[in-house]
Amino acid sequence: MKELVAYRCKKCGLIMYPKHGRCLRCKAREFEPFEAEGDARLITYTDNQTLPWGIDDRQRFLGIVEFANGVKAMGWLKVATPKLGMKLKPHWEPVRVMGGEDVYGLVLRQGK
């Protein structure tokens, strides 16, 4: 997984994702981009059985994870049974078609 880019404030070190124009903590404007890395721990999730227009799936598990290096992000959980606290591996894959194009995002699976 290469494309989930988070930002570390050069002044106070706060990790942010997605991008902000000023640091949420110290208001500084300089950031160091870096990739989310390591296992992702599941903080919370839902079984969304009412997906919006534009997505044909009947059901998706969506969740929020925290990576070993502190980045927090939402993603699509491709697991049979999600459990709070479970460790997941991140992948960068198509998650939605918009304007005829594949849009890539965070997909999380167990194992490799």
Q: Which does 79 bind (CB under 5 to 8 A by kind): another protein, Zn ion, none?
A: none
The three-state secondary structure class of 5 is strand
100 dihedral zone (left: phi>0; alpha: psi -120 to 50; beta)? left
Per CB under 5 A, the list member of 25, 32, 55, 103 interacting with Zn ion is: 25
CA-nearest of 105, 13, 15 to 60 is 105
Query: Using CB atoms within 10 A of its CB, is residue 54 exposed (0-12), middle (13-18) or buried (19+)?
Result: exposed
Q: Is 103 in the site for Zn ion (CB under 5 A)?
A: no
List of residues contacting another protein (CB under 8 A): 16-18, 24, 43-55, 57, 60, 62-64, 72-76, 84, 95-96, 98, 103, 105-106
3, 18, 19, 26: which one contacts Zn ion (CB under 5 A)?
Answer: 26
Alpha carbon distance 69, 78 (integer Å): 22
Q: Does 5 bind Zn ion (CB under 5 A)?
A: no
User: Residue 28 binds what, of Zn ion, another protein, none (CB under 5 to 8 Å, by partner type)?
Assistant: Zn ion
